[in-house]
Structure 1
């Protein structure tokens, strides 16, 4: 079950059948970019734990266009303390080469609707400061920069900054 949009896009909860494709997308970013701060490829078991966590509030969805996997979007726990339960962390990963087609914006609008239905008040997005496309995406959709952490990660022999954005949705 999912939501079919006019443009042939379809969002559906991630199931076991999607895991290999989702893992391929994520591991591309692990191995080739600073989008992910993992430095080693993830396993199918690790991806399963990440996107099929069993918590009904923290959902993961695939983005399909005409039946083909284009990416995935998820809400994860922002912090593991009860007072944060109305806040979620949003992440979007698009298949390499799928950027610049509006899929990120449609994914963001979709996940905000779901987050609102699930009772979230705030969504947070944390991205590498080098990731200009993601920074533009979140800013364009009403997220405000709320933090900048300098040299907080190291990958490919470089120190990396992260930027956090937030949006009050409900």
Structure 2
């Protein structure tokens, strides 16, 4: 039986491992180097009630997680939230990411956010199509903003209105 529950301190080791797995695979726009449990705690469990994080648990094992975090540190952007969704590599293509994203969007609406943003790499294309299936609209492309060993990667901006 699977469940989605608010993320807690006891979840952080697995949540951090899943995030670091995505960093190692070059799949995240969030970070270039692996993060510590303390860094993920500060980012995801920041004691701000307007932001939330959830885990997807199946048979007591965390398979993925989602977080609503500030889109930008500037106050004027506070009505906009960034949605992050991560699923462990071994549990991909099972609909877990969809369930987590839909929960995140429901929570963003309930919490009164005006819009939600996704920041995605342009490759693989299936992620862009996933965002569009969720109702996100492509709003732009930031060229050459993420350094990688082979040069620079672009980042795509996707937005969904929550109102």
TM tier, shorter chain?
over 0.9
Note closer, same or farther for the CA distance 1:133–1:154 as it changes in structure 2 (3 Å cut): same
User: Scaled by the length of structure 1, what TM-score is found?
Assistant: 0.89
| Per-residue deviation, residues 4-54 of structure 1 (Å, max 9, x unmatched) | xxxx33111111100000011011111222324522211111111111111
1:61 Cα deviation from its structure 2 partner: 0.8
The count of aligned residue pairs is 163
1:116 and 2:109 aligned: yes
User: Scaled by the length of structure 2, what TM-score is found?
Assistant: 0.93
- Give the 3-state SS of the residue equivalent to 1:69 in structure 2: strand
* CA contact 1:73–1:90 (8 Å) conserved in 2: yes
Written as runs of structure 1 = structure 2, the 5 A alignment for 1:20-169 is 20-169=13-162
The answer for unaligned runs of 5 or more in structure 2 is none
Q: For the aligned residues, what is the CA RMSD?
A: 1.4
The answer for unaligned runs of 5 or more in structure 1 is 1-7
